[in-house]
Amino acid sequence: MTEKRTTVVPPARAGRREWTALAVLSLPAMLITLDNTVLHLAVPHLNASLNPSGLQLLWAVDIYSFLIASLLIIAGTLGDRIGRRRLLLIGAVGFGVASLLTAFSNSAEMLIVSRALLGIAGATLTPSSMSLIRNLFLDARQRTVALSVWITCFLVGGAIGPLVGGVMLEHFWWGSVFLLSVPAMVLLLILGPVLLPEYRDPRPGTIDFASMGLLVLSLLAGVYGLKKLAVEGVAVIPALILLAGLALGVWFVARQRGLTHPLIDMALFRERTFSASLGGMGLALFVMSGSQFFIAQYLQMVVGLSPLEAGLASLPGSLGGVAGSLLAPVALRWMRAAYAMTGGLVIAAAGFVVLAQAGADSGPATVMVALALLNIGVSPTVVLGTDMMINSAPPEKAGAVSAISDTSHELGLGLGIAVLGSVGGAVYRNQVSGELPAGLPEGAAASIEDSIGNAVDEISRLPEGLATAALDVAREAFTHGLVLVSVVCGVLTVLTVFLTLGLRNVPAVVGTDGAGESGESDGADGVSTELLEAGGRTTD
């Protein structure tokens, strides 16, 4: 008998065209995160131009993340149905137009609506880009490199955001920072149809608009109620709105349990590795986004730095974030992933201790050291936690887990600003109330008590002696808010340590080469083969 031999044909390797397409996909990724971080630096200028209330300012900053988080999963399903390239190009048009509207907003209300449109458009870009990268790079090793390049561009955008924003704000009006993404979207629209393949799922999933509506409404109602309670104190209507948001959230979860093809597969949360990784990653992003929202304002409105100087002061934090992301897989040579994450969180907690030492008369050095420690410490939890979470699920659930991972990223960022921003704002208003000097013009006290941004703008119109006294009160109050937020973040970071320590006995992932057994550990518990290859296998 002649033995039949089957020849395995390796997947086609990507060439110059595919790598050029990756560059086209990576530029918008960089600018989306840059767009988000430069806004923090633009807050003082935005305050002076549009005079938003403290509540409106919070909405302008975090509505973007909330809408992206709510729509990411549904956008992935929509891309499968109408075509991923088509959805990407539609999203690019929307993001470019929304960026223009945001840049030229002439009222706080218009800014909030424009940022909401940015979030809706932004939700289409990430899942479409990731899916197209998987279609462009069929070779597993090339695909890993391509995804790493895309994610690195995503991180670099956030890292250079403060510096680029500082340069822009030094020479142009606050809206100019939102124009940076427009050329990238135009480039994507020109080159996308030429370089990117179209892909549709022959059997796309159903679009559950009811679940999407419940998720969006529960988030927005809950956050709105929380913010109003922080501003007004205990009041019936905000409390009812908050409860309504919680009720809608419970309804959303119940609906997912009863659906054959849910928007979010609740069964995944029964897996301890998945839940602990998700919780650790979400809390890490929560404390980072909330604290950085205050730091950008503190550097300019309390310390008195220019936008460019504030951007330069943020540079140690940006470099620390990149370093932490790159060192995370390297640490796996010597320790388990859970211990690398825990060590990082201890460093981050030390950063919050340093940040809590900031005073109204301090220079930028305290914040610069704190930012470096925070970013170095949080990055391993985000990088390794994401990888462990995705690898905790069976292969057929990888898409759902990836979507939940992206959603939790945006939720962590948005909730950090919403919750900690409300807490810090409440401390500021309580501290300022009753401490302002006598003799203020009618209406000036209310404006100063609303937010530090309005205070600086209002105080600039007061006589010198009165202005100095009022500004001292406002700066001291804002610093107290920053210190309290730092303490809260430090406590939450320590609590997150217990979540990551719970991952220390997670079994190792079976490599694609068949090495490793489910009950054995080579020290790199729950970490993907790609990360092990990037950092080197641990001998633990």
DSSP structure string for 189-234: HHHHHHHSPP---SSPPP--HHHHHHHHHHHHHHHHHHHHHHHH-S
Question: Across the chain, what does the average pLDDT equal?
Answer: 79
Q: Which long-range contacts (CB under 8 A, 24 or more apart) does 150-156 make?
A: 150/22, 150/25, 150/26, 150/29, 152/325, 153/26, 153/27, 153/29, 153/30, 154/29, 154/30, 154/32, 154/33, 155/33, 155/321, 155/322, 155/325, 156/30, 156/322
- 293, two tokens: 């929202």
Neighbours of 271 (CB within 10 A): 17
Higher pLDDT, residue 224 or 474? 474
pLDDT band at 525 (very low <50, low <70, confident <90, very high): very low
In 3-state terms, what secondary structure has residue 525?
strand
Summarize the confidence of residues 318-347 as an average pLDDT.
82
With a cut of 70, say whether residue 516 has pLDDT above it: no
With a cut of 60, say whether residue 21 has pLDDT above it: yes
pLDDT band at 538 (very low <50, low <70, confident <90, very high): very low
Q: What is the CA radius of gyration of the chain?
A: 24
Closest CA to 412 of 533, 269, 282, 512: 282
CA angle 176, 180, 181 (to 5 degrees): 130
With a cut of 60, say whether residue 531 has pLDDT above it: no
CA distance to 507, 512, 522, per residue, from 518 (Å): 6, 13, 11
With a cut of 90, say whether residue 196 has pLDDT above it: no
Closest CA to 320 of 350, 300, 297: 350
Higher pLDDT, residue 212 or 10? 212
CA distance to 54, 289, 457, 477, 521, per residue, from 451 (Å): 5, 19, 10, 10, 52
Phi and psi, residue 525, nearest 5°: -65, 125
CA angle 504, 414, 22 (to 5 degrees): 80
Lowest-pLDDT range, 18-27, 379-388, 526-535?
526-535
pLDDT digits (tens, 9 = 90+) for 401-418: 767 777 777 788 878 888
Summarize the confidence of residues 300-318 as an average pLDDT.
85
pLDDT of res. 10:
63
Higher pLDDT, residue 531 or 383? 383
CA distance to 48, 350, 359, 439, 480, per residue, from 470 (Å): 17, 33, 17, 11, 16
- 208, two tokens: 């559950």
Q: Are 268 and 274 in contact (CB under 8 A)?
A: yes
Summarize the confidence of residues 163-180 as an average pLDDT.
83
pLDDT band at 518 (very low <50, low <70, confident <90, very high): very low
pLDDT of res. 522:
40
The length of the chain, given as a count of residues: 540
pLDDT digits (tens, 9 = 90+) for 425-470: 888 888 888 777 877 777 778 878 877 877 887 787 778 778 888 8
pTM, to two decimals: 0.78
Question: Residue 533 and residue 540: Cα distance in Å, rounded?
Answer: 16
Q: In the chain, what are the helix, strand and coil shares in percent, each to the nearest 5?
A: 75, 0, 20
Q: Which one-letter amino acid corresponds to residue 534?
A: A
CA angle 38, 306, 285 (to 5 degrees): 35
pLDDT band at 486 (very low <50, low <70, confident <90, very high): very high
**Domains of the chain in sequence order:** 13-208 (1.20.1250.20), 272-408+484-509+520-533 (1.20.1250)
End-to-end Cα distance, the chain: 49
Q: Are 245 and 219 in contact (CB under 8 A)?
A: yes
pLDDT of res. 490:
92
Query: pLDDT above 90 covers what percent of the chain?
Result: 12
Summarize the confidence of residues 372-401 as an average pLDDT.
75
pLDDT of res. 232:
65
